[in-house]
């Protein structure tokens, strides 16, 4: 993975869920799902959104013809009910024919924004 990619994804998730939530709490470092769920329970968090980057391919499509790609799997969990709500995959792909390079960060930000807006 690329350094900081997980932090970026967590930031985007919190930024776009914030309008629909009264409180957002981010982990200070990467945690496995079980640990995150345990910490959420201790903090009396109602919902846990757990994004996992499964693919992160920044490309310079302007000269390579290969599009930028990323995939993120998001698990949503109702902590209070001890129930998984859903697992959804977000697939991101830039254009392969372009005159300018597309930033994986911007493509991911746009995709997560759309994902969160469609949740609520």
Put simply, whether the predicted model's pTM sits higher than 0.75 gets the answer yes
CB atoms within 10 A of CB 81: 10
* Per-position pLDDT tens, the chain of length 120: 568 899 999 999 999 999 999 889 999 899 999 999 999 999 999 999 999 999 988 766 556 667 788 999 999 999 999 999 999 999 998 876 555 557 888 899 999 999 999 998
**Which two three-digit tokens encode residue 13?**
């998730």
Q: Are 17 and 10 in contact (CB under 8 A)?
A: no
Expressed as residue numbers, the domain containing 89 is 5-119
Q: How far apart are CA 96 and CA 88, in angstroms?
A: 25
Q: What per-residue confidence (pLDDT) applies to 100?
A: 58
- Number of domains observed in the structure of the chain: 1
Q: What per-residue confidence (pLDDT) applies to 14?
A: 96
The DSSP H or E segment spanning 106 is: helix 104-119
Q: Are 97 and 1 in contact (CB under 8 A)?
A: no
Buried/exposed 97-113: b ≥16 CB within 10 Å, e otherwise? eeeeebebbebbbebbe
Q: What per-residue confidence (pLDDT) applies to 95?
A: 72
Domain containing 22 — which CATH number? 3.30.160
């Amino acid at each position: 993975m690329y350094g900081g990619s997980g932090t970026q994804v967590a930031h985007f998730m919190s930024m776009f869920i914030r309008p629909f939530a009264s409180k957002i709490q981010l982990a200070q470092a990467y945690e496995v799902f079980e640990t995150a769920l345990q910490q959420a329970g201790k903090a009396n968090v109602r919902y846990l959104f757990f994004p996992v980057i499964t693919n992160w391919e920044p490309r310079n499509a302007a000269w390579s013809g290969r599009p930028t790609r990323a995939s993120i799997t998001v698990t949503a969990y109702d902590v209070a009910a001890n129930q998984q709500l859903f697992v959804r995959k977000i697939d991101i792909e830039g254009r392969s024919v372009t005159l300018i390079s597309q930033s994986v960060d911007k493509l991911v930000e746009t995709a997560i924004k759309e994902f969160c807006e469609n949740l609520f």
